[in-house]
Amino acid sequence: MNKLIEFKKVTKEYRVGEVPIKALDGVDFSISEGEFVVVLGASGAGKSTILNIIGGMDKATSGQVFVGGQDITRLNEKKLTEYRGEKVGFVFQFYNLIPNLNALENVEFAAEVCTNHLDARDILYKVGLKNRIRNFPSQLSGGEQQRVAIARAVAKNPLLLLCDEPTGALDYVTGKTVLKLLQDLNKETKKCVVLVTHNSAIAPMADKIIKVKSGKIESVTMNQNKQSVEGIEW
Ligand SMILES: Nc1ncnc2c1ncn2[C@@H]1O[C@H](COP(=O)(O)OP(=O)(O)OP(=O)(O)O)[C@@H](O)[C@H]1O
């Protein structure tokens, strides 16, 4: 399979006052097209930093980050903003929907600026919100709001979908339905999904598991026994 993402000797240093914090310390890994990847690690390990660098929301201090063949560490601010807008779909723990737009408008608003965007209504139907498209975020449950957020990310028709603790604010059952949705979308659309979590029980649903510890890669494992979300419990 073709490589979609490649980290080469990536470091990220934050400086708070005099003290440098090494969030990433020589990180190497690659992700192939179509893979469902779980990035696993304890709080503070550097998971979100990896995701934010892939998504062009944060910049590596050193090293190279290839996405779709281009080194995104070399992009200027304008190109990086374009990259973020066109190529990356984000799903966060808290859904970050615009409160005064309904579900359909939230998805349209994000998608319409993208060249190859998909039909907002079609995607909302696909995520199971056919009867909710005129509802405002305050009129939707947490799980439904996360579905809108996923639809918003997918409707951009991005190169990859980045999810940071997407079930973190949801109860067990709702969290599982959101994971199932992400797994189904990955299967159907063949889009690469990178999901960050501290919950190791989620790992069996991945094609590849990247374990992060104290800013370093602890292991990268291909999962020989990939499971559907229904079969996973925690
Ligand atoms: N903007 C920042 N300024 C300073 N330090 C930061 C900043 N962002 C992250 N860090 C530090 O970098 C390290 C890695 O943080 P990161 O958010 O990537 O961890 P994480 O694995 O995603 O943790 P969590 O599961 O708690 O979200 C932590 O020590 C964190 O305190």
Ligand 1: list residues with CB < 6 Å.
14, 16, 21, 23, 41, 43-49, 198
* Ligand 1: residue whose CA is nearest its atom 2: 14
Return the pLDDT at 231: 87
Return the pLDDT at 151: 95
3-class secondary structure, 153:
helix
The token pair at 234 is 């925690």
CATH number belonging to domain 33-61+70-231: 3.40.50.300
* Ligand 1: residue whose CA is nearest its atom 17: 48
The rounded average pLDDT for each run of 10 residues, N- to C-terminus, in the chain (234 residues) is: 94 92 97 97 96 96 96 96 94 94 97 92 93 97 95 94 93 91 93 96 96 98 94 86
The total of other beta-carbon atoms located within 10 Å of residue 48's CB is: 20
Residue for token pair 């598991």: 209
The answer to whether the Cα torsion of 24, 34, 160, 196 is positive or negative is negative
Q: Are strands 70-71 and 88-91 parallel, antiparallel or unpaired?
A: unpaired
Contact between residue 88 and residue 160 where contact means Cβ atoms under 8 Å apart: yes
Residue for token pair 């737009």: 101
The token pair at 198 is 């501290």
Please tell me the distance between residue 165's alpha carbon and the centre of ligand 1 in angstroms. 14
In DSSP notation, 63-101 reads EEEEETTEEGGG--HHHHHHHHHHHEEEE-SS----TTS
Please tell me the distance between residue 124's alpha carbon and the centre of ligand 1 in angstroms. 33
Q: Which amino acid, residue 140?
A: L
* Ligand 1: residue whose CA is nearest its atom 6: 14
* Ligand 1: residue whose CA is nearest its atom 14: 46
Return the pLDDT at 16: 87
Contact between residue 170 and residue 146 where contact means Cβ atoms under 8 Å apart: yes
- Which ligand 1 atom lies nearest to the CA of residue 198? 25
Give me the interface pTM, i.e. the ipTM: 0.95
3-class secondary structure, 211:
strand
Please tell me the distance between residue 151's alpha carbon and the centre of ligand 1 in angstroms. 27
* Ligand 1: residue whose CA is nearest its atom 31: 44
The token pair at 187 is 């299967």
- Which ligand 1 atom lies nearest to the CA of residue 51? 18
The total of other beta-carbon atoms located within 10 Å of residue 99's CB is: 8
- Which ligand 1 atom lies nearest to the CA of residue 12? 12
Please tell me the distance between residue 43's alpha carbon and the centre of ligand 1 in angstroms. 8
* Ligand 1: residue whose CA is nearest its atom 11: 23
Residue 55 vs residues 119, 193, 200, 209: alpha-carbon distances, Å: 23, 12, 23, 19
Return the pLDDT at 111: 93
The pTM score is 0.95
Residue for token pair 């490649």: 6
